[in-house]
Amino acid sequence: MLWFRKRSEDVPLPAVAEAIVPAELPVALDPALFRHYLKAVTEAAQDWGGIEAYLAAASAKQQLFAELLAPERLAGLTLEDMERLLDRVFTARRRLYPVLESLGETRVREATHWLFTGPLPVAQRLQDFVDAMPGAGGMGREAVRAAAKMRRAAWDFAAEMLHFADPERYPLMARWVWDRATQSGALREFIRGNDAMPEIPLTNAPETYEGARAWLAGQLRGEGVYRDLPLWIDLVQAQAYVTYLRSVAEGSLGGDFGRGAQPHEHVRKLLGIEPERPDGRTRVKKNATQDTAAPA
């Protein structure tokens, strides 16, 4: 479903200049838990050159996204460009490329152009990108499940494209940051006593992510961190989620994160900031019949 509202030649699509207003969170985040995860990610980074190496890798990813998704380049976006972006999105790179390839370069380009320049609110543009993906290839249970997983991967890919292309404007709205449907994500780990709560009252609205991000930015400033705040926030959130995964699902992480991997490796993988492979091979799975397991 692409250009499903009006064709671009009928309605000019101005560059989006929206500002997401942070929502007041309905549940308190805990400064002590924040400090715990900040200390943990800083200590874990020592095994990979220190926190500056983390920030440099995250900055390199951000620069790649900003370059490939610059307004003047959107009209010429290629499947090769999309592959380079997908290579840096852990929760989508093992599932989404065959779908994008089947849609074709023109339709993928239009969907991405709409994501960035459509005149609708960002939440709707995100959903429109997901809805541009094909539905289930049949009514069987496995086909429906596969389509649902693919659509979740498409959401994560769109969320990462927005965030890393313009991290000041867009918070990271990937499912691992927060997913209301599964009641899981990094934000839960900043809530004291979350295990005793029947439901975490956070929505998936962009304003919720921005409200949490504003709180995290305030905590970082309180610790004397003022530069690269969006990247610092990503690192702390990734550490919180990885800590949760290691505590409850160590036995099932093997195929996704690598058995026996260290915490710093998990953080880097989740954020898509691992070193490039020595042989230059992509991490993107291009064959739809390959194992495409990814975290829920």
Q: What is the pLDDT of residues 147-176, one digit of tens each?
A: 889 999 999 999 999 999 999 999 999 999
Q: Is residue 70 part of a domain?
A: yes
Q: Is residue 257 part of a domain?
A: yes
Q: Is residue 12 part of a domain?
A: no
Q: What is the pLDDT of residues 59-109, one digit of tens each?
A: 999 999 999 999 999 999 999 999 999 999 999 999 999 999 999 999 999
Q: Is residue 290 part of a domain?
A: no
pLDDT at 1: 37
Neighbours of 61 (CB within 10 A): 21
Q: Is residue 3 part of a domain?
A: no
Band of residue 140 on the pLDDT scale cut at 50, 70, 90: low
Residues in the chain: 296
User: Between these two residues, 13 and 267, which has the higher pLDDT value?
Assistant: 267
CA–CA gap between residue 153 and residue 142 (Å, rounded): 16
Which domain covers residue 223, as residue numbers? 31-271
Q: Is residue 117 part of a domain?
A: yes
Q: Sign of the C-alpha dihedral, residues 248, 251, 256, 259?
A: positive
**How many domains would you assign to the chain?**
1
Q: Taking the model in full, what pTM does it have?
A: 0.88
Q: Is residue 16 part of a domain?
A: no
CA–CA gap between residue 252 and residue 271 (Å, rounded): 19
Q: Is residue 259 part of a domain?
A: yes
pLDDT at 292: 39
